[in-house]
Amino acid sequence: MDFNDTPEEAAYRAEARKWLEANAPKKAVGGDDLEGGTKDTMAASKAWQAKKAAAGYAQITWPKEWGGPGGTPIQQVIFSAEEARHPVPPNPFAIGLGMCVPTVMAFADAETKTRFVGPALRGEEIWCQLFSEPSGGSDVAAARTKAVKADDGSGDWIISGQKVWTTGAQFSSFGIVVVRTDPDVPKHKGMTMFWVDMSDPGIEVRPIHQMSGGSGFNEVFFTNVRVPDSQRLGAVGDGWKVSLVTLMNERLAVGGSSGAGWAEFMEAARGLTGLDGGPALKDQALREKIADWYVQAEGLKHTRNRTMTALSRGQTPGPESSIGKVVAATQMQDLANSAVEMLDQFGIINDPALAPLKGGFHASLMSAPGLRIAGGTDEILKNIIAERVLGLPGDIRVDKDVAFKDLPTGR
Amino acid sequence: MNFDFSDDQKFLKNEARKFLEANCPTSRVRKILDDDAKAYDEALWKAVAGQGWLGAAIPEEHGGLGLGHIELCAIAEELGRVVAPIPFASTVYFLAEALMLAGSDAQKAALLPRIAAGEVIGCVATSEGPGVLSASAIQASVSGGRLSGTKLPVTDGDIATHALVLAKENGQPGLFLVNLSAGVTREALATLDPTRDAAKLTFSGAAAERLGAAGEGLSLLEQVTDRAAVLLAFEQSGGADKCLEMAKAYALERYAFGRVIASYQAIKHKLADMYVKNELARSNAYYGAWALNTNAPELPVAASAARIAASEAFWFGAKENIQTHGGIGFTWEVDAHLYYRRSRQLALVAGAARVWKERLVSHLERRNAA
């Protein structure tokens, strides 16, 4: 066991470091990781992406035919780690490049691929993923947004309905959308995937006002959006299978967790009054919590190191990488709440001018509920661990062999 | 980046698993559990010595295999999986490590080859009664090379040939190597985990040799305990993995309300929670193994984290394995309680979790202040 790069990895790292030193921005622009940036940071994000693409550091694992350098996953990890040492702008391209464009690449014709891949890679066009709906967040196959054939014989499709929790829709040029094309068959069999032009007048994007105050996610309304059949990805009725390809392409979660952690908590505890009039850092209950958070954070860090080891050996990482978000999100909420409680009566104040860490703990407290839900709820992630990692049976389904239109739907 | 066992280490681990599955089934463990007169499995101890495992990390010049500590970690994990009823931890993680760390050339030459051969059994005698160990309250004392005082509980104290004893000399705590052939009386104590015995040792003028320099006893004990903590974490990790496997196997064969209980979300989420804790424990243990093997300055922090994560994972796995089994899990016949007992033994033998949490945060405080 050691943490050293192989000679090839060390050479790649040195080269990446040199390039970043020369090219990475020296000063940060503000932004929110959960939301992939704001319109104020967008220009900086796009400029940085274009620079990386020109140097072969955007989508490092993409093959040459897609315009990538055809690198290895470990090179991507090395570059990301080095890049994180610089104040680079937020990355609003990850969902498009990691999930949407690979889906287009897998199912579209050659002309479409050629049209989209370059601009996406260079950050000129952003993509969003239109899966979740008001009637089904975890249950993607419950989609009700429908596409019907136009009655003019053109072969076009008319899409109507609503998507929700669409990250970055307000910045996106294009999206991939999964819709219901046949309500008379069971839910997984009656869906179809399309790509759509987000500038279509029938598409309306409305930001969601989150409980945290921000608005990174959107509702997207489709009103009679006409889409030619050539924008279909995969066969009619294969939308579920296509969406699995999208989700499989989900980026390997190798980034560190954001937000305040045990070290910030410890620093805050040092300066606050505790139970006996001394520093809060001397309170035994808080010390035990710090120990627990440290052990979890280290556990996640070294779990990522195990994943990197597998990548470094050219192997597929083991299932251990599946534990990341469920641990990190729960800890974020617990730590933020403990920090706010540590302030006692003052904890109700979240004014950045008065609260510790410029209100950072309070901000974590208010965004933690979202992190526990986004990208798979705690409950869904535990199901995934139980079923895909441990091999336990799936739940008994009451919706598999029933026509979609006959399923009970609640309100 | 190489954060895993190497192929050779995996081979060794796999061989150890096969050997222990054949030589240490729970039917063997139960012979120690059910027989108050038996403190450990002598035949297994000899067999383990025959495999060379006792000397895995002992240099070849002292009769060991001269492998690294990573190999020893791999063996420890396998011993933990089968709740092996032998004084491996006392002898190898504590006595041999203390000797390699602070023993004189003569002490090393005299004892390490006999440890590797299975002729010496070690024990650690620090505690003198209930409550957290406090160095200032230690009563045992050494004067003129002779030890007197009482130590309890001492895991493997009833079968050990040599002890590491924390005692005061000229008012300062020291760590002493004591040959238990004379000047000591032993009284076996009833233990939560009868597959690992303990005793009360009363010393009356036993010959004691100080390890390390005068006044450095506590820091030496901490160093030894940090090393042992990493190795214990692998034993705990092995036990925790086995608990998850047992719970999973039972959940997949047990039917209730017309379906296997493994199909209920309450059970699936419980096992997922076990998996998460086990992976956090394993990842922390790996880092501890790296720090131990390279003698890194990070060892005290890494060992503390490994210890805390492993104690938590094994406890959670052991109790929830019984819960998953339901009523049958509460019977003497089902092996679940062997792991429940061992999880407590391993979590307490080198200091409870809250002691380690305090130790960890003290280290972090110093590190972050520096």
Cα separation, B305 vs A196, in Å, equals: 50
Token digits for B98? 């203390």
CA distance A390 to A58: 35
Distance CA A217, CA A166 (A): 5
Give the integer Cα–Cα distance in Å for B165 and B153: 12
Q: What is the DSSP letter of B240?
A: H
Residue of chain A whose alpha carbon sits nearest to that of B279: A320
Q: Which of A266, A291, A326 sits opposite B276 (nearest CB)?
A: A326
Distance of CA A400 to the CA centre of its chain: 28
Sequence-ordered alpha helix ranges (H) in chain B: 7-23, 26-33, 42-50, 69-81, 88, 97-102, 105-116, 217-253, 265-294, 299-325, 336-349, 353-369
Nearest alpha carbon to residue B77 among B165, B13, B124, B33: B13
State the DSSP code for A120: H
Residue A394 touches partner B, C-beta closer than 8 Å: yes
Per-residue pLDDT band at A286 (split at 50, 70, 90): very high
Work out the minimum CA distance from A395 to partner chain B, whole angstroms: 6
Phi, psi angles (nearest 5°) of residue B126: -115, -50
Chain A from 74 to 113: CB within 8 A of any B CB: 74
Helix (H, G, I), strand (E, B) or coil at A59: coil
From chain A, the residues in CB contact with B2 under 8 A are 1-4, 309, 312
**What chain A residue is nearest to B366 in terms of C-alpha separation?**
A266
Q: Which residue has the higher pLDDT, A291 or A399?
A: A291
Say yes or no: B202 contacts chain A, CB-CB below 8 A: no
Cα–Cα distance measured from residue B280 to residue A18, given in angstroms and rounded to the nearest whole number: 34
Q: Give me the amino acid identity at A18.
A: K
B10 vs A: CB within 8 A: no
Q: Which of B260, B271, B357 sits opposite A288 (nearest CB)?
A: B357
Residue A252 has pLDDT above 80, yes or no: no
Written as six digits, the tokens of B271 are 């096992």
Amino acid, res. A154: S
Mean of pLDDT values over B246-253: 98
Interface mutation target, options B241, B276, B294, B314, chain A, most CBs of A under 10 Å? B276
Class in CATH terms, B218-369: mainly alpha
Mean pLDDT, residues A307-315: 83
- Taking a C-beta distance cutoff of 8 angstroms, is the pair B64, B226 a contact? no
| Cα-only R_g, chain A | 23
Q: Which residues of A touch B286 (CB under 8 A)?
A: 1, 302, 305-306
Extended strands (E) in A76-214: 127-130, 146-149, 157-164, 174-180, 191-197, 203-207
Tell me what the mean pLDDT of segment A336-361 comes to: 96
This model of the complex carries an ipTM of: 0.96
Answer whether B227's CB lies under 8 Å from B97's CB.
yes
Largest separation between any pair of C-alpha atoms in chain B: 73
Q: What does the pLDDT look like over B297-308, one tens digit per residue?
A: 999 999 999 999
Interface test with A, best of B241, B275, B279 (most A CBs within 10 A): B279
For residue B153, whether the previous peptide bond is cis, meaning omega lies within 30 degrees of 0, is yes
- How many CB atoms are closer than 10 A to CB B79? 23
b/e map A338-369, b = 16+ CB within 10 Å:
bbbebbeeebeeeeeeebbbebbbbbbbbbbe
pLDDT above 70 for A34 = no
Contacts of residue A288 in chain B, CB cutoff 8 Å?
354, 357-358
The pLDDT tens digits for A172-183 are 999 999 999 999
* A286 touches A341 (CB < 8 A): no
Hey, what's the torsion of the CAs at B234, B237, B238, B240, to 10 degrees?
160
Tell me which of A5, A6, A302 to substitute to probe the interface with B (most B C-beta atoms closer than 10 Å): A302
3-state secondary structure of B155: strand
Residues 6+ apart with CB under 8 A from B248: A390, A391, A392, B262, B271
Task: Write down the pTM of the prediction.
Answer: 0.94
The shortest CB-CB distance from A295 to any of B248, B272, B309 is to B309
**CA nearest neighbour of B70 among B269, B367, B295:** B295
- Inter-chain touch A295–B284, beta carbons under 8 Å: yes
- Indicate if the pLDDT at residue A254 is higher than 80: no
Whether the Cβ atoms of residue A328 and residue A257 lie closer than 8 Å to each other: yes
Backbone φ, ψ for residue A154 (5° rounding):
-75, -20
Phi-psi region of A47 (alpha: psi -120 to 50; beta: other; left: phi over 0): alpha
Going by pLDDT thresholds of 50, 70 and 90, the confidence category of residue A411 is low
Query: Which one is the CATH code of B7-116: 1.20.1250.20, 3.90.700.10, 3.30.40.10, 1.10.540.10?
Result: 1.10.540.10
Q: For A326, name the nearest residue in chain B, comparing CA atoms only.
A: B276
Split at pLDDT 50, 70, 90, the class of B338 is very high
CATH 2.40.110.10 intervals, chain B: 122-214
Interface of B with A in 67-126 (CB under 8 A): 70
Q: How many CA atoms lie within 13 A of A191 on its CB side?
A: 22
Report d(CA A123, CA B326) in Å as an integer.
Answer: 56
Class of the CATH-defined domain B122-214: mainly beta
- Phi/psi region, residue B149 (left: phi>0; alpha: psi -120 to 50; beta: rest), is left
DSSP labels, A62-130 = S-GGGTS----HHHHHHHHHHHTTS-PPP-TTHHIIIIIHHHHHHHS-HHHHHHHHHHHHTTSS-EEEE
- Provide CATH 1.10.540.10 ranges for chain B: 7-116
Q: How confident is the model at residue B248 (pLDDT cuts 50, 70, 90)?
A: very high
* Closest-CA distance of chain B to residue A200, Å: 43
A314 touches chain B (CB under 8 A): no
Closest CB from B244, B276, B293 relative to A1: B293
Looking at chain A, which residue has its C-alpha nearest residue B271? A386
Q: CA-to-CA distance for A184 and A404, rounded, in angstroms?
A: 6
CB distance A307 to A321 below 8 Å = yes
Residue A330 in this model has a pLDDT that exceeds 50: yes
Say yes or no for a CB contact (<8 Å) between B1 and A309: yes
| Cβ-Cβ contacts under 8 Å for A9 (sequence gap 6 or more) | A74, A75, A78, A312, B1
Chain A contact present for B360, CB below 8 A: yes
Q: What is the pLDDT of residues B180-227, one digit of tens each?
A: 999 999 999 999 999 999 999 999 999 999 999 998 999 999 999 999
Mean pLDDT computed over every residue of chain B? 97
The separation between CA A306 and the C-alpha centre of its own chain, rounded to angstroms, equals 22
> Residue B3 and residue A306: Cβ atoms within 8 Å?
yes
The alpha-carbon gap from A380 to the nearest alpha carbon of chain B, in Å, equals 10
**What count of other Cβ atoms lies within 10 Å of the Cβ of residue A409?**
11
pLDDT digit string (tens) for B16-50?
A: 999 999 999 999 999 999 998 999 999 999 999 99
Strand-pair category, B146-155 with B198-211:
antiparallel
